[in-house]
Amino acid sequence: MRLYKFLSVSCLSLISLASHAETLNGLYQVLEPVASQAPQERDQATLRALDALVLRLTGDAKAVQSPGLAAIRQDPQQIILQYGYDAGPPESLKVDFDPVSTDRALRSAGLSLWGANRPSILGWWLNDSAEGSSLVGDGQASATPLRRAAQHRGLPLHLPLADLSEQIVATAPNLEGGDPAPLRQASERYGADALLAVHAKEEGGQWRGTWRLWLGDQREQGNAEGADPAALADTIMLAVSQRLAPRFVAKPGVATEQVLEVQGMNLERYAMLGRLLEPFGGQLQRVEDDRVVYRVSGSTEQLKAQLALAKLQEIPAGEAVAPAAQPAADGSVPVAAPAPAPALTPSLRFRW
């Protein structure tokens, strides 16, 4: 069955389909700690929540100062659906922003957005304190501040089981070393897109940490500190978010228009691809058998990084043309969706 026959299926069914790239839930919900539920405290926390959301959606620390957001900062209520309080700890103001009006306001301010499909991160986090050394594992109490920080900064974080075999691998030398091979091998069963290695130490009442991030063949690293494990986690997650965002966010005035062809399509992949291309303004141009053609706006490197999240493979130039449709038994040639004229020549080709 040809792909174009699927495209009339309700959009509601498309939204429910799974994706290889992880869709971050709660992207437009922000929790900000508060000292009380007094109106003034709530107003201040609301503004902090707005700033956190802008940073989460753009990855740009300067975006919150954009002149185009001045009216929103004066009256954040115009893009807020509701707010309430979360008992915590810590007690926090929970603000639910409206995705449609928020995106519209940010784009009107000339800001480019990082979509909800983001690389999943497996975090190898080793804490060293007076009580000893421990690897943070999924389900442990020590995982709570890490998960909260990752959600606050818009990162899909997963943690290992921290069983005996993993504790043997996640040593300080391996976490601080430049070779990710030991961690990659131990991470295979989790299927994450990126690896984050953190060695956190408590020294003189302060927490300091070194971190390294591997995504494909690219590596980022840095140092951070915080008053407690939660503060350290938030600082590291913020740094990771700001390092990752430029790979996936098409900057205004820098992005170029390109034509992208993807082969091996079906309904599920069509839905997935549409979500992946949202940050690049993807516009469907043509459907031919199991191939689709999109107009997109972004750098080649950013597009390749985004498509890699769905495990798409680039097609070498010499292999770009797919086989022609074969005649049916009666001699007729199957016809897919009509292609617009003039035909677009793809500058990038990928396949599943």
What are the tens digits of pLDDT across the range 30-73?
999 999 999 999 999 999 999 999 999 999 999 999 999 999 99
- At 18 the pLDDT is 37
Of the candidate CATH numbers 3.30.160.100, 3.50.50.60, 3.30.70.100, 2.40.30.110, the domain formed by 117-246 belongs to 3.30.160.100
The confidence score (pLDDT) of residue 308 equals: 86
65: number of CA atoms within 13 Å, CB side? 3
Q: How many C-beta neighbours within 10 Å does residue 283 have?
A: 11
What pLDDT is attached to residue 61? Answer: 92
How wide is the angle at C-alpha 192 spanned by C-alphas 316 and 263, nearest 5°? 30
Q: 206-231: per-residue pLDDT in tens?
A: 999 999 999 988 899 999 999 999 99
Q: Rounded CA gap, 117 and 350, in Å?
A: 18
Average pLDDT score over residue span 161-189: 95
Question: Cβ-count burial of 39 within 10 angstroms (0-12 exposed, 13-18 middle, 19+ buried)?
Answer: exposed
What whole-number distance in Å separates Cα of residue 181 and Cα of residue 179? 6
- Does residue 245 contact residue 215 with C-beta atoms inside 8 Å? no
Structural domain boundaries in the chain = 3-10+251-351, 28-108, 117-246
Least confident range from 109-123, 279-293, 311-325: namely: 311-325
Residues 207 and 210: their CA atoms lie apart, in Å, by: 11
| Residue 12: band (very low, low, confident or very high) from pLDDT cuts 50, 70, 90 | very low
- In this predicted structure, what is the pLDDT of residue 135? 98
Q: What is the mean pLDDT of residues 257-278?
A: 88
Q: Is the entire prediction scored with pTM above 0.75?
A: yes
